[in-house]
Structure 1
Amino acid sequence: MMPRVKFYPVGNGDCSQIVLANKKRLLFDFCHRRNAEDEDDPRIDLHATLSDELRAAGRKHFEVVALTHLDDDHIAKSTEFFYLEHAKKYQDEDRKKINQLWVPAAAILEKGLTGEAAVWRSEARHRLKNGQGIRVFSRPSNLKDWLESEGLSLTDREHLITDAGQRVPGFDLGKDGVEFFVHSPFAKHADDQTILRNESAIILHATFEVDNRKTRYLIVGDSTWEILEEIVDITRNKKRDVRLQWDIYNVPHHCSYLALGPKKGKEQTKPVVNVQWLLDQCQKGAIAVSSSGPIPSTDTNDPPHRQAASTYRKTITDNNGHKFVVTMEYPNVKKPKILEVEIGGRGAVLKTLSVVGVSSLVRSSTPRAGHL
């Protein structure tokens, strides 16, 4: 089995899954908002779908569940699905277990939380205090203060913390066929009294290797152009440009113009220089996925923004057979399906659905010489 990345049609929200050749499963975010009483709601029944997938694979757990940040469109109804260790009320037999929870430091430190965000903060704190089943991204001074308030030191839990500029422990190309490099958050993003979730969210660069071919996936979440601009500056200054090359791009913030630049624009959003450079790092045949509702034909306040979509389409059209795909439009607006990208010796290949519903693999590119 080749590794693959699956994007779920959850509406304006995020949920994707990496399934590795060794059968490990890494779930990124969770958004279940389908109205069960509305037969015409095109959003996927995420609870049922993920349960069915695990059952078919003979598994009851995810190796990793990564919550890039605690906004509702990234955690909606997740506390009804997962087995949580901090309280018995979340420990029904049918709940799915999490071997390792990945969260930004902000998920532990943010104050004034309610609802599911507060539940996940409790779970993350519980795991960090117990010293297992968690990985925290970044080490702001506030985290040190919090640990000390719990009778712990930063040194006691240092093995559970990963900073920007490091690789995530526990995954490597030899054993798993994938490695993860951390771009963000930076410690400063959670040091302020007021935590901005999008700015302090997890951003990762995954590198897969199959048949000596490396395929790269940039996992961006709900980032802003300011954060991306800073990431590009730091990465290029450290001569790590390869960590920003991409064959698969998780289009930020449901195709918001604010992930490209400060002004929406009339017909297209003009990216700031560094973000344009980042878009230009797309490799031949790359696939950009917007986890969002259909792209509107008129102006809207909330994403997706048609101007941003136009910019992504232009970049893709101008570069060697790229694809820009929207989860709630794939393969059509009325009945969107799971968007699946298989990763192999030919790079990233979008699994398409024929008219009669039979799955097939269609090349999105031809092999390029000298691939890394």
Structure 2
Amino acid sequence: MAVAAKATLFKVDNGDMTLFETETGKRILCDINIRQAADGTDDDTPDVVKQLRNKLDRDEKGRLFVDAFLNTHPDADHIRGLIKHFHLGDPSTWVKADDKIIIREMWSSPIVFRRARAKDEDHVLCADAEAWRDEARRRTNKYKKDRSAVDGNRILILGEDVDGKTDDLADVLVKVDEVFSKICGVHDTSFEARLLAPMPADDEEEEELLTKNNSSVITRLDLKVSKVTRGRFLLGGDAEVAIWDRIWERNKKWPERLQYDVLIAPHHCSWHSLSYDSWSDKGEKAKVSEPARCALGQPLGGALIVASSKPIKDDENDPPCIRAKREYLDILDPVKGEFKCVAHSPGDDPLMIEVSSAGPRIKRAVFAVSVAAGTGIGSQPLAHG
């Protein structure tokens, strides 16, 4: 089966950085964690910038670009490297000597930035996060003024803000539960996504509990082949257990909204996405929240759960947490699925998932023995479309 779409999960330690390539050639980047060490030659940190740039095209002006860039939330390990490697400001100010990557369309939620409070260390924004916020505001204000946008000035706003602040932005606003399939303002037959969160707080008390992690954008992103969905990816940023509880309560009548071929385990395989109890304090006595487990426990046949994290060890660390890994393995067992940690892929290579009409499959190293045996790359699809 010919490969029609791809997902590349870069090796960024406890962080997220995923590039989706659609059948129509669009490239959607979800989060970045470009550590300073990755820019040097004397360090063994994978050069994820080089890996990313090698997968991008240049436009008619010679500028590397991504068609869309989704930031799930502005923690440093999801936005690190933005200022150094991506062009911010009007695309006309791009400088050839810097050769930064153009973001044709930002996908951003205003809710988490409204919740940022300088006196609360859980809400303080790093410099890259502040730069993302400022660029999102620039693009939003430009849209309000012009009611149109060109690539490099576009923005898609994910989730309604309070007090009617997004009421006049209907053309660039996606509300919770809505499905969207436009990239840079154009309908794309190879892509579809449903916005599941962030959800507005129910009251002031709940608002106080909503940190950057719990304001993460959660979406089911679908890659299509010949207009048929073949790869369903559930992305949840760093959302913790209370949010997954709410996600289930909101969607339990329609569990198919949460079904996935690939789940990127939230918060780098953290136990706190599945439980209110501390793993380091309670160990095996820590209890799973059933609603959260239901939300994260909707795998399709042969599904894959991926931990974008450090190597997972049998210790008290969280994230990644060995207890969360065991829970995900239990979720996968009835559907004969597979669990993978990005850190365990060979060398500096990212984890590659290829999507064809047969569904998604991991791109595996090919050796003479496996070729002779008729296995090798993608010998078994993760799921059937």
CA drift at 1:235:
1.1
Partner of 1:8: 10
- Distance of 2:287 and 2:186 partners within structure 1: 37
- Distance of 1:363 and 1:49 partners within structure 2: 25
Partner of 1:21: 23
CA deviation digits over 1:124-143, x for unaligned, max 9?
A: 10001001411111222257
Question: What is the SS of the residue equivalent to 1:130?
Answer: helix
Partner of 2:111: 106
Instruction: Please tell me the residue identity of whatever aligns with 1:52.
Output: N
Question: 1:277 aligned to 2:280?
Answer: no
Question: 1:123 aligned to 2:138?
Answer: no
Question: What is the SS of the residue equivalent to 1:294?
Answer: coil
Question: 1:233 aligned to 2:249?
Answer: yes
CA drift at 1:88:
9.3
Question: 1:97 aligned to 2:109?
Answer: no
1:54-203 alignment to 2 at 5 Å? 54-55=56-57, 60-85=64-89, 93-109=98-114, 110-112=116-118, 113-131=125-143, 132=149, 133-141=154-162, 144=165, 154-170=166-182, 175-188=188-201, 192=207, 196-203=211-218
- Distance of 2:169 and 2:186 partners within structure 1: 26
Question: 1:205 aligned to 2:220?
Answer: yes
Instruction: Please tell me the residue identity of whatever aligns with 2:189.
Output: D
CA deviation digits over 1:295-333, x for unaligned, max 9?
A: 023212x411111112222322x22331111111113xx
Instruction: Please tell me the residue identity of whatever aligns with 2:159.
Output: S
Question: What is the SS of the residue equivalent to 2:88?
Answer: coil
Question: Do 1:341 and 1:348's aligned partners in 2 also have CA atoms closer than 8 Å?
Answer: yes
What's the C-alpha RMSD, in Å, of the aligned pairs? Answer: 3.2
| Matched positions, count | 352
- Distance of 1:234 and 1:295 partners within structure 2: 32
CA change 1:90–1:32 in 2 (3 A) is farther
Partner of 1:344: 356
1:311-330 alignment to 2 at 5 Å? 311-316=327-332, 318-330=333-345
- Distance of 1:273 and 1:16 partners within structure 2: 28
Partner of 1:148: none
- Distance of 1:306 and 1:32 partners within structure 2: 25
Counterpart pick for 2:269 among 228, 242, 255: 255
CA deviation digits over 1:186-227, x for unaligned, max 9?
A: 122898478611111110012233254543111111111111
- Distance of 1:17 and 1:121 partners within structure 2: 21
Partner of 1:308: 324
CA drift at 1:91:
5.1
- Distance of 2:203 and 2:379 partners within structure 1: 42
- Distance of 2:42 and 2:329 partners within structure 1: 32
Partner of 1:298: 315
TM-score when normalising by structure 1: 0.84
CA drift at 1:158:
2.5
Question: 1:216 aligned to 2:213?
Answer: no
Percent identity reads: 24
CA change 1:40–1:269 in 2 (3 A) is farther
Instruction: Please tell me the residue identity of whatever aligns with 1:284.
Output: G
Instruction: Please tell me the residue identity of whatever aligns with 1:63.
Output: D
CA change 1:104–1:319 in 2 (3 A) is same
Q: Structure 1: which 5+ runs fail to align?
A: 145-153
Question: Do 1:269 and 1:308's aligned partners in 2 also have CA atoms closer than 8 Å?
Answer: no
Instruction: Please tell me the residue identity of whatever aligns with 2:311.
Output: P
Q: Structure 2: which 5+ runs fail to align?
A: 119-124, 144-148
